[in-house]
Structure 1
Amino acid sequence: MPTSPARAAIRIGISGWRYAPWRGTFYPKGLVQDDELAYASHQVPTIEINGSFYSLQRPERYQRWYEATPRGFVFSVKAPRYVTHIRRLADVRAPLANFFASGVFNLREKLGPVLWQLPPSLPFEPGRLEAFLKLLPQDTQAAQALARSREARMSGRARIKAHVHGPLRHALEVRHPSFADPAVADMLRHYGVALVVADTAGKWPYLEDVTAGFMYLRLHGDQEIYVSGYTDQALDRWAARISRWAAGAEPADARRAGGPAAAAPARDVYCYFDNDVKVRAPEDARGLMRRLGLPMAPQAPGD
């Protein structure tokens, strides 16, 4: 019996959901703040959690986020800046253990990729990067084992048990020009970590190297970072590129630091709009979804 072709999951969403300018514009007037995630999660099928970047969240908060969102919804989680910006990837086993013990497993089957965003001041140092990549757990069992070595200060605010067992996905967003190096792409491929395709109006490196079995895009604005919306022409271009990646190929004009990736039957794609200042992110996300023929509401597996 012939096998059916692999099918990629394409998820288009927004980075964060709690923004004052969205109230009365994207969010209906009178919607209480505690209901904003529930509303947003019925407009797009995936959202980046940003609060986890600024401080460790608590298990009960992850549990509330899980309960507020529909079946089939997926979160990505932005990892702590304490690891990336303060410790600058060095000596981070204990902070990683604390992060994975902080309750992320309460997202259950809605836990998607973990995003690691590096600061613009951190250059590529092969030894530093590889030591960090070696520490990243590749599945929930390894993450659970790492979480058990959390620091004592996590007592009373940890959640260790993973309800769902399976692989973990990691994505790395780089912001120093020295990362435009073939060695970076090779290293990320070795560890199966996705290099984030970051559109930042030319402020930081723009790279499209395929380094994992999935793609992770962050669209911060192509004219003015965090502010400018995407034109119809720009959204058409992104739809075409995403279609190529999802089909297991690459755009013909891909901007890479290294060589092309091996073809694959399909690749999942996660794409988040982070141009939130003028309330363009939700509109642009839904515009891109329409171009890709995606449903406007989250779809549960098998639906």
Structure 2
Amino acid sequence: MGVAVLIGTSGWQYRDWKDRLYHGVPQKRWLEHYARCFATVEINAAFYRLPAYETFASWRERTPADFLMAVKASRYLTHVRRLRDPSDPVRRLLSVAEGLGDRLGPVLLQLPPTLRADPALLADCLDAFPSSVRVVVEPRHESWFTPQVRELLTAHDAALCWADRLGRPLTPLWRTTTWGYLRLHEGAAEPWPGYDDRTLDAWLDRIADAPPDSDFFVYFNNDPGGAAVRDAIRLAELAEARGLPTTRTPVLVP
């Protein structure tokens, strides 16, 4: 079997999705509906305010057994501490995310665009995570893209986050783990901020080269106007045409 593509969006609570994805569904049931439509989501809101253990536990209870939630680490760790003294913020993050139990997917460390490469800081931060937690790092300063950092990520079995804006990769296309992670921030197609087939196919070319029987998480972060949902559905269609197994995607209301 080839690589499995796990497709979702960055967040699920967007009011302008109401008449497309959530037509007729009360807002308090949006998570349950989303989880019937998709098998994974990226919790971007955790970056701004870390949810309580009880909130994570509630999300676990409200979603099916095959559902996975990737968690974006708190900005306190990445943007306030800037990776310094990571033990306490990592411990706090994991102590509340434990509420997800087996629903916990990768933990995303999105670094500030002003944070220049400091391999020692990153190594200390990655060391604070147990080996059972999959960690993905999204650097946003070009100084991180060196052989030393690539070796560091590989040694810690941490993934480099692939990222796209306007159809262009924002990072090197390194493979530092047996699994992968892609964030699609903004497409260049009409209507904005959607993605066209050519760009999605190019990303599938890269994903298809991943090791057999591996997971590749893909999250659309271009939420305005429901673009993320539409593009997730289209990516699944294009992947399935290639014979790549994908997780479920919804049927939108016309």
TM-score (norm 1): 0.75
Corresponding position of 2:252: none
Query: Post-superposition shift, 1:24?
Result: 1.5
Task: State yes or no: 1:12 paired with 2:3.
Answer: no
Task: State yes or no: 1:219 paired with 2:184.
Answer: yes
- Of 217, 224, 236, 1:277 maps to 224
CA distance in 2, matches of 1:138, 1:295: 26
Corresponding position of 1:297: 248
Corresponding position of 1:231: 196
CA distance in 1, matches of 2:30, 2:111: 29
After superposition, where does 1:89-168 map in structure 2 within 5 Å? 89-102=83-96, 104-139=97-132, 168=133
- Counterpart contact for 2:111–2:139, Cα < 8 Å: yes
Q: Which has the larger radius of gyration?
A: 1
Count the aligned residue pairs.
Answer: 243
Alpha-carbon displacement from aligned partner over 1:207-236 (angstroms, at most 9, x marks no partner): 210011210100112438xx5211122222
After superposition, where does 1:194-209 map in structure 2 within 5 Å? 194-201=159-166, 205-209=170-174
- Of 80, 87, 106, 2:81 maps to 87
Query: Post-superposition shift, 1:131?
Result: 1.9
- Counterpart contact for 2:86–2:124, Cα < 8 Å: no
The structure where strand makes up a greater share of residues is 2
Task: State yes or no: 1:288 paired with 2:239.
Answer: no
Query: Post-superposition shift, 1:296?
Result: 6.0
- 1:176/1:58 Cα in 2 relative to 1: closer, same or farther (>3 Å)? same
Q: Which has the higher contact order (CA 8 A, sep 6+)?
A: 2
Runs of 5+ unmatched residues, structure 2: 250-254
Alpha-carbon displacement from aligned partner over 1:214-261 (angstroms, at most 9, x marks no partner): 10100112438xx5211122222222222222xx1xxxxxxxxxxxxx
Corresponding position of 1:169: 134
CA distance in 2, matches of 1:112, 1:205: 23
Kindly provide the amino acid, as one letter, of the partner of residue 63 in structure 1. Answer: A
Query: Post-superposition shift, 1:292?
Result: 1.8
Query: Post-superposition shift, 1:99?
Result: 1.2
Query: Post-superposition shift, 1:76?
Result: 0.7
SS in 1 for 2:226: coil
Kindly provide the amino acid, as one letter, of the partner of residue 112 in structure 1. Answer: G
Runs of 5+ unmatched residues, structure 1: 1-5, 140-167, 249-264, 299-303
Cα RMSD between the aligned structures?
2.0
Corresponding position of 2:156: 191
- Counterpart contact for 1:175–1:204, Cα < 8 Å: no
**Percent of aligned pairs with the same residue?**
37
Kindly provide the amino acid, as one letter, of the partner of residue 183 in structure 2. Answer: R
- Counterpart contact for 2:5–2:246, Cα < 8 Å: no
CA distance in 1, matches of 2:187, 2:228: 12
- Counterpart contact for 2:150–2:174, Cα < 8 Å: yes
CA distance in 1, matches of 2:107, 2:121: 19
Query: Post-superposition shift, 1:205?
Result: 3.3
CA distance in 1, matches of 2:238, 2:58: 32
SS in 1 for 2:209: helix
SS in 2 for 1:63: helix
- Counterpart contact for 2:164–2:185, Cα < 8 Å: yes
The structure where helix makes up a greater share of residues is 2
TM-score (norm 2): 0.88
Kindly provide the amino acid, as one letter, of the partner of residue 196 in structure 1. Answer: C
Which is worse superposed, 56-65 or 185-194?
Answer: 56-65
Task: State yes or no: 1:44 paired with 2:9.
Answer: no
- Counterpart contact for 2:188–2:196, Cα < 8 Å: no
SS in 2 for 1:280: helix
